């Protein structure tokens, strides 16, 4: 899912405050909550304290995000909470809370998009990718199969820093049990000097972790 900037009212943010007061109190979400972006499946809010809240209908993202919690992932954003609203205006929407990161430059987004189209799109699902032990293995594989993968090898040589980072990031997720397939440029953000994957949705596959059931009518949170 591509995140885009929106200039609109803060209406849905107000709905979070009004419909889920217990949840908001638990996470110190106040009237300063601000909508900062939206896409095909969800909406992102800045809730302060260097954190964002995302509502989404993408079950794959919720599942992979929940499974990533507690894992020491160097190349993926830190997720603090995954739940599902069972009442109110966001009923049956998943909610994800995690670290707030910064956008990449337009040039970096374009480079990652190009690599996504050639070297790291469907390739990260292949058994050949899974069998590689390091970046040079994948680079040599692309070189040996240059006709099949078109300009993948050339792009990896052209953008070595970006290509090696993306290999390591995808491999880290695979090794942790998450198969990620929505790794285009706008799903990579920056924390300090580090690039990180966000939005683990799309074609992702993973076991499920801890997803909490948020039921404001009963004033409790249950684990599902």
Confidence of residue 2 (pLDDT cuts 50, 70, 90): very low
- Give me the phi and psi of 24, to 5 degrees please: -65, -40
Sorted by where each begins, the domain ranges of the chain are 11-101+205-223, 106-197
CA distances from 24 to 171, 186, 216 (A): 35, 28, 11
Q: What is the rounded distance in angstroms from the CA atom of residue 106 to the CA atom of residue 84?
A: 33
3-state secondary structure of 74: coil
Fold of 11-101+205-223: Phosphorylase Kinase; domain 1 (3.30.200)
Strands 51-56 and 212-215: unpaired
With 50 as the cut, is the pLDDT of residue 32 above it? yes
Tell me the C-alpha distance between 87 and 199, whole Å.
24
Q: Say if residue 215's pLDDT is above 60.
A: yes
Tell me what pLDDT residue 51 has: 97
In this predicted model, what pLDDT tens digit does every residue of 47-81 receive, in sequence order? 999 999 999 999 999 999 999 999 999 999 999 99
- From CA 183, how far away is CA 85, in angstroms rounded? 27
pLDDT, tens digit, 9 for 90 and up, residues 115-174: 998 888 765 567 888 889 999 999 999 999 888 887 899 999 999 999 999 999 999 999
The structure tokens 């924390």 sit at 191
Helix H segments across the chain?
Answer: 11-19, 21-26, 59-68, 106-118, 127-131, 135-144, 152-158, 160-176
Q: What is the pTM of this model?
A: 0.87
Predicted local confidence at residue 4, as pLDDT? 35
Share of the chain above pLDDT 70, in %: 89
Range with the poorest average pLDDT among 53-57, 104-108, 195-199, 215-219: 215-219
């Amino acid at each position: 899912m591509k995140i885009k900037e929106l200039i609109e009212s803060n209406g849905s943010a107000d709905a979070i405050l009004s419909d889920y007061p217990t949840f908001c109190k638990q996470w110190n979400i106040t009237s300063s909550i601000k909508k900062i972006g939206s896409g095909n499946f969800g909406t992102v809010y800045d809730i302060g304290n260097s954190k964002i809240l995302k509502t989404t209908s993408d079950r794959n993202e919720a599942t992979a995000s929940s499974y990533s919690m507690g894992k020491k992932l160097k190349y993926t954003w830190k997720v603090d909470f995954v739940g599902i609203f069972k009442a109110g205006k966001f009923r049956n929407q998943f909610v994800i809370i995690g670290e707030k990161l910064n956008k990449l430059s337009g040039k970096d987004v374009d480079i990652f998009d190009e690599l996504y189209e050639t070297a790291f799109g469907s390739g990260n699902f292949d058994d050949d990718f899974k069998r590689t032990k390091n970046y040079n293995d994948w680079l040599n594989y692309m070189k040996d199969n240059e006709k099949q993968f078109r300009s993948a090898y050339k792009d990896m040589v052209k953008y070595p820093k970006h290509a090696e980072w993306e290999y390591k990031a995808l491999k880290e997720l695979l090794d942790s049990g998450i198969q990620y397939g929505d790794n285009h440029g706008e799903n990579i953000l920056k924390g300090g000097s580090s690039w990180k994957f966000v939005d683990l949705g799309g074609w992702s596959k993973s076991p499920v972790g801890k997803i909490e059931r948020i039921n404001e009518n009963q004033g409790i949170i249950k684990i599902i």
